[in-house]
Amino acid sequence: MSIRCNWKIYIHSLLSNFNVSVCSLLEVLECTIISFDPIFILLLSAFWVMLPAYLPNPVAALCGGGLPVDLGRNFSDGRRVFGEGKTFRGLAAGILAGILIGLVQIWAAGQYEWSFLPQQTILSISLLSVGALLGDLVKSFFKRRFGKERGAKWPVADMYDLVLGAFVLLLVFDPGWLFATVTLPLMVVILILTPILHRAMNILGYLVKVKEVPW
């Protein structure tokens, strides 16, 4: 009798322990899901803010060619000013694409009332788009000064030139939008997201033979 009773107590305590474990697990899961939400919104916001700056580079690679921006001229060190990889057509097509996608964003945010996303303006999308390719151009200028050939690997500069270019232009011409929109956590996410997307896009560009190198 007492052995049966002990078994009952044992099974009861086992079940209640199991219940407690399941409850704890559900609580952890709930917490994870709840805390996942803001992280997802932050990731989406970073992508949303940077899209007019992300698009110009791949579009320039896709449509570029023809007359180079430096008109084939050399700098005083005897090397090309920007190099053969920076062309007027790439610059124009890239900037246009960045502004066009930005206009679509402004329209979509208004149309579907996506108030949880950062609000773009005509000025912000223009500065992001122009800044991204100006940053790329300035980077190529210094790349040539360091004696690096067109297409050579220059990891950090190649990945962050567009962010630096876009943010410098925003800082000069629209600091109000910049400080109201790009909070510190958003900035951190942009700095993490940019090299990942940059690398992914370049590998894709290489695979579809738009780019000569996968970086």
Contact footprint for ligand CTP (CB under 6 A): 60-61, 64-65, 83, 85-87, 90-91, 133, 136, 140, 143, 150-152, 211
Return the number of the residue (83 or 131) whose C-beta is nearest ligand CTP.
Answer: 83
Beta carbon of residue 85, minimum distance to ligand CTP (angstroms, whole number): 3
CB of 212 to ligand CTP, least distance (A): 7
Among 170, 144, 12, 24, which residue's Cα sits nearest to residue 81? 144
β-sheet bridge partners, residue 80: 74
Q: Which is nearer to ligand CTP, 59 or 178 (CB)?
A: 59
Between 87 and 181, name the residue whose CB sits nearer to ligand CTP.
87
Q: Which is nearer to ligand CTP, 44 or 152 (CB)?
A: 152
User: Minimum Å distance from CB 33 to ligand CTP?
Assistant: 40
Comparing CB distances to ligand CTP, the nearer of 181 and 194 is: 194
What's the closest the beta carbon of residue 86 comes to ligand CTP, in angstroms? 4
Write down the least CB distance from residue 88 to ligand CTP, Å.
8
